[in-house]
């Protein structure tokens, strides 16, 4: 009875901490759930190794999805952006505010496009700034009943590199090619002026200024996104994370599944 009450107490404490608004307390609540798993398995088997295994189960759960759904995915080598209408504002209540912030920074609208990637519908609204030589995009993602939005600011250098700054909330599902430099910002950076400021700092860290950047061609922005995606796929083929299929698609290799597992664990730790 005492052991059951101890487990129940840790569950209640964990739920209370997870309900807090403070990030530190929420993360402490996640650690409390790990402690709960440890106690349950320790009391059941009366061994510390069993408790450690019980805590580790949380980090092994992603393999259920990896070995069932992800392993059977077949993804296109050449994913083409197509014109799409704006999704319902009901799913993305902050999208209008984000668009307003971009336009207030004198970015001009180019086009609206979208594609499907790993079962996720993605809508892109693209903008450009000729003077600062920048491309900005708002991406609205829908997957099952989950919807979220993120922003990306991009530019290209005269030596062929692509520089990106984004607040995409998850770790990338493919490795970035060497010619593509990405800066991933925390989710708290959810205002366009903040991302624009961080992109400027990103360029400074790379010792780049506007003279080192190419003026973007708004007519080629869509094709550049498609080409960069294909270059990333080719890079991951060389790394062995993905393999070609007989029907002109690609799938994740076992090495790629381990890569996705590591990315998922990082997200679990970072976003818990």
Which comes out higher in pLDDT, residue 259 or 33? 259
User: How far apart, in whole angstroms, are the C-alpha atoms of residue 164 and residue 147?
Assistant: 23
Note the pLDDT tens digit of each residue in 58-80: 889 999 999 998 998 888 888 77
- Mark whether 171 and 41 lie in a shared domain: no
For residue 34, pLDDT over 80 is answered with yes
How many domains are contained in the chain?
A: 2
Write out pLDDT tens, residues 50-62: 888 888 888 899 9
262 occurs within a structural domain: no
Average pLDDT over residues 203-217: 92
Say how far apart CA 102 and CA 85 lie, in whole Å: 19
Q: Does position 198 have pLDDT exceeding 90, yes or no? A: yes
Residue located via tokens 């059941």? 44
Tell me, yes or no, whether 55 and 93 share the same domain.
no
Distance CA 262, CA 156 (A): 30
Residues 95 and 230 in one domain: yes
CA atoms of 220 and 77, how far apart (whole Å): 20
Does 104 or 120 have the greater pLDDT score? 104
Is 257 domain-assigned? no
Residue pair 147/141 in contact (Cβ under 8 Å)? The answer is yes
The tokens for 262 are: 């590591």
Condensed to tens digits (0 to 9), the pLDDT of residues 83-94 reads: 666 666 655 657
Question: Which of 260, 262, 267 lies closest to 73, judged by CA?
Answer: 260
Gyration radius of the chain over CA positions: 22
pTM: 0.83
pLDDT for 204 equals: 93
Q: Residue 150: in which H helix or E strand, if any?
A: strand 146-156
In a domain, 141, yes or no: yes
> Distance between CA atoms of 36 and 43, rounded to whole angstroms?
11
Whether residues 28 and 110 share a domain: the answer is no
Question: Within this chain, do residues 35 and 158 fall inside the same structural domain, yes or no?
Answer: no
Residues 88 and 21 in one domain: no
DSSP 47: -
Residue with tokens 């296109």: 76
DSSP string covering 152-220? EEEEEBTTS-EEEEE--SS--SSPPPTTEEEEEPPTT--SHHHHHHHHHHHHHHTT--GGGBPPP-TTT
- My answer on whether 194 and 109 are in the same domain is yes
Q: Is 270 helix (H, G, I), strand (E, B) or coil?
A: helix
**Nearest-angstrom CA–CA distance, 156 and 179:** 10
Q: Please check whether residue 267 lies inside any domain of the structure.
A: no
In a domain, 228, yes or no: yes
Task: Report yes or no on 66 lying in a domain.
Answer: no
Q: Does residue 191 have a pLDDT over 60?
A: yes
Distances (CA, A) of 65 to 33, 69, 70, 173, 260: 21, 5, 6, 14, 11
Last residue of a domain, one of 32, 60, 88: 60
The answer as to whether 69 is a domain residue is no
| 205 and 239 co-located in one domain | yes
206, two tokens: 């790379």
The range of the structural domain enclosing residue 143 comes to 79-250
pLDDT of 11 above 60: yes
Q: What is the pLDDT of residue 90?
A: 59
Place 270 in a pLDDT band, splitting at 50, 70 and 90. Answer: confident
Do 181 and 49 fall into the same domain? no
Rounded Cα distance between 41 and 174, Å, is 35
The average confidence (pLDDT) of the chain is 86
Query: Which of 24-28, 137-141, 198-202, 232-236 is predicted with the least confidence, judged by mean pLDDT?
Result: 24-28
215 and 143 in a common domain: yes
Residues 114, 23 share a domain: no
Return all residues near 161 (Cβ < 8 A) that are at least 6 apart. Answer: 179, 180, 181
pLDDT above 60 for 162? yes
Assess whether 14 and 135 both reside in one domain.
no
Would residue 17 count as lying in a domain?
yes
């Amino acid at each position: 009875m005492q052991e059951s009450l101890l487990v129940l107490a840790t569950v209640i404490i964990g739920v209370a901490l997870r309900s807090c608004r403070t990030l530190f307390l929420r993360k402490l609540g996640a650690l409390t759930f790990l402690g709960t798993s440890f106690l349950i398995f320790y009391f059941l088997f009366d061994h510390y190794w069993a408790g450690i295994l019980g805590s580790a189960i949380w980090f092994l759960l992603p393999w259920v999805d990896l070995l069932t759904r992800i392993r059977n995915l077949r993804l296109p080598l050449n994913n083409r952006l197509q014109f799409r209408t704006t999704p319902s504002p009901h799913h993305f209540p902050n999208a209008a505010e984000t668009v307003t912030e971009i336009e207030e920074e004198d970015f001009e609208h180019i086009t609206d496009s979208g594609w499907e990637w790993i079962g996720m519908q993605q809508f892109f609204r693209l903008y450009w700034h000729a003077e600062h030589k920048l491309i900005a995009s708002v991406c609205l993602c829908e997957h099952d009943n989950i919807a979220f939005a993120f922003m990306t600011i991009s530019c290209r250098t005269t030596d062929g590199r692509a520089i990106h700054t984004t607040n995409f909330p998850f770790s990338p599902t493919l490795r970035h090619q060497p010619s593509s430099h990405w800066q991933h910002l925390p989710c708290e950076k959810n205002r366009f002026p903040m991302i624009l400021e961080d992109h400027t700092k990103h360029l400074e860290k790379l010792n780049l200024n506007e003279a080192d950047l190419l003026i973007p061609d708004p007519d080629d922005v869509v094709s550049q996104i498609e080409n960069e995606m294909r270059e990333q796929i080719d890079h991951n083929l060389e790394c062995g994370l993905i393999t070609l299929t007989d029907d002109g698609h690609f799938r994740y290799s076992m090495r790629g599944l381990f890569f996705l597992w590591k990315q998922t664990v990082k997200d679990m730790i970072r976003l818990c």
